[in-house]
Amino acid sequence: MTINLSLPKALVQRADAQAKKEYTSRSDVFRRALLELLKREEAKEEGQWQTVFHDDRGVPIDEFLAALRKK
């Protein structure tokens, strides 16, 4: 399906630069960004914790930030 969007010129330029760097298309850059946004929103709705990686395990972000505050 094809859609038309109005976007700021600077955003399109950044997407084009990213696409060129990854040898892909502008559409693919926007598609992946939208999918990532939707996955994050879905995770929030399902109550999943956002994690950061430290060593070989995922750590809840609140736990990670608390450890940083102690240092």
Where along the chain do its domains lie? 9-70
CA-based angle 70:53:67, to the nearest 5? 5
pLDDT digits (tens, 9 = 90+) for 10-48: 999 999 999 999 999 999 999 999 998 888 888 777 766
Exposure of 47 in the CB half-sphere (CA atoms within 13 A): 0
Across 29-62, b (16+ Cβ under 10 Å) vs e yields: bbeeeeeeeeeeeeeeeeeeeeeeeeeeeeeeee
- Picking from 2-6, 23-27, 36-40, 49-53, which range would have the lowest pLDDT averaged per residue? 49-53
Residue 47's pLDDT is what? 67
This prediction's pTM: 0.62
